[in-house]
Amino acid sequence: MTTGIAAKLLTRATAIALCLACVSAKTAGFREIQDYIDSYQRMAAFDGVVLIAQGNEIVWQMAFGSADYENARPMSTATRFRIASLSKQVTQAAIGRLADDGKLTLQSRLADFLPDFPNARRITVRHLLEHTAGIAHTNRLDWMDMSTAMTLDEIVAGLAGEDLQFTPGVDSQYSNGGYALLAKVIEVASGTSYGEFINREFASTGYPSIGDEAAHEAIPDMAKRYAPGPDYGHRVAAQTYITANRIGGGSLHATAEDIFRFFRDSYSGNLLSIDTSREIFEKPADGDITITGRSPGALAQIYLDFENDLTVVTLSSNSAWPGSLNDDVVALYRDEKVELLPARRAENALPPHELRTFAGNFRMQQFGWNVVIEPGSGDLIFIQGDLRTALVRTTDESFHLPIYDWLCRFSAYNTEFECRQRNIKSDARFFFERI
């Protein structure tokens, strides 16, 4: 009997020791994640919250940077962020709620809600949800000025004047315009405004931070928006961006925790009926998915690994887009190695006459961007539209662009330069030619 009790005590002690070892290892892993994100925060390329959840349990959540540097307001896990195109999933769920209430189906025609809209009988709600309606992408339309607020009716009227990009149902093209039409469908079907419907259906039922940011409206606990400035490690205000003009597709805000709960409930069938949930939130065949939203002063990403019941949410109030950050957090949590090329800033600044040899106008081959390179205080300044951000000389004679986390190299005589992502697992290359 004594031997049995001793054996049980020994087994229990061993189990406790193993458990403590696991906790210690995981704590070390979280410190590694924190150090990794801190490196971007020091470059003025991240301000936000990162959340990791296993199943229903949040196992780690941390805030980085400041929610308002000018007024020393700390960043916290209760801070709200613009979630950019993650708003589309909330709009999808709103359509699902209306379907469950019998107000529409995914096969309903746009003509049922907007009878005077051109080609409305050819376009279904499903087409709009799946970007297969042929509706113009408002980001590419001259009349969509992102510094001046438009009403939803003005946006719909503008879209009515645009030709279909293709026959509905035969092709696919990402479209914020299509989601503006969905916002209008929600208003007609519900008899209330898009923002009021979102508040009633979601903010009041378990996701209190999810809401629609009307133009110039003050939001409690909202993060101010920043971008890496022309001086390395310093922030400036992000470009003007009126979220009202992205209603339905990019106008919402939320906390990291509410994003986690909302997406988990969307895909698990807790938010909508099982049939509607399966129609709208179909799980990918390969078992995981990353969804991204981005706008000036906002980066929102969520990774969902359905097979291993893992969720990682990254919300930032910074224009910088370290493209691999969310993936790298996932890798670090899994005790995998993150492969990044070094980006150590050169200690000795180049003299002004050498910096001037890089200056000029360049055009990006892939996206047609026109950029200007100017000499700065020992580094270069990368100018794209209203954006002025540091292009930092490194110890290996390349230049680091923190806003995209690219490493760039100039050719002989500086007639062109090539950039690549700092994550060495990526083979993406971006070419700029002097014009």
Domains and CATH numbers, the chain: 82-100+181-333 (3.40.710.10), 352-434 (2.40.128.50)
Per-residue pLDDT, 271 = 94
Half-sphere exposure (Cβ direction) of 144: Cα atoms closer than 13 Å: 24
Query: 1: pLDDT confidence band, cut at 50, 70 and 90?
Result: very low
Query: 171: pLDDT confidence band, cut at 50, 70 and 90?
Result: very high
Enclosing H/E stretch for 265: helix 256-268
pLDDT at 432 over 50: yes
What's the mean pLDDT in 144-151?
Answer: 90
Alpha-carbon gap, residue 393 to 391, rounded angstroms:
7
pLDDT at 235 over 80: yes
Task: Show Cβ contacts of residue 304 under 8 Å, excluding neighbours closer than 6 positions.
Answer: 263, 264, 267, 288, 289, 290, 291, 310, 311
Q: Cβ(63)–Cβ(48) under 8 Å?
A: yes
pLDDT at 99 over 60: yes
Q: Cβ(246)–Cβ(176) under 8 Å?
A: yes
Q: Cβ(350)–Cβ(392) under 8 Å?
A: no
Query: 286: pLDDT confidence band, cut at 50, 70 and 90?
Result: confident
User: Bridge-partner residues for 293, per DSSP?
Assistant: 300
- Tens-digit pLDDT profile for residues 302-340: 999 999 999 999 999 999 999 899 999 999 999 999 999
What's the mean pLDDT in 195-205?
Answer: 95
- Tens-digit pLDDT profile for residues 346-386: 988 899 999 999 999 999 999 999 999 999 988 999 999 98
The interaxial angle of helices 325-333 and 2-42, nearest 10 deg, is 160
Tell me if the pTM is above 0.85. yes
Alpha-carbon gap, residue 185 to 237, rounded angstroms:
35
Task: Tell me how far apart the 2 most distant CA atoms of the chain are, in Å.
Answer: 88
Per-residue pLDDT, 298 = 97
Please give the mean pLDDT across all residues of the chain.
92
Query: 26: pLDDT confidence band, cut at 50, 70 and 90?
Result: low
Q: Cβ(199)–Cβ(211) under 8 Å?
A: yes
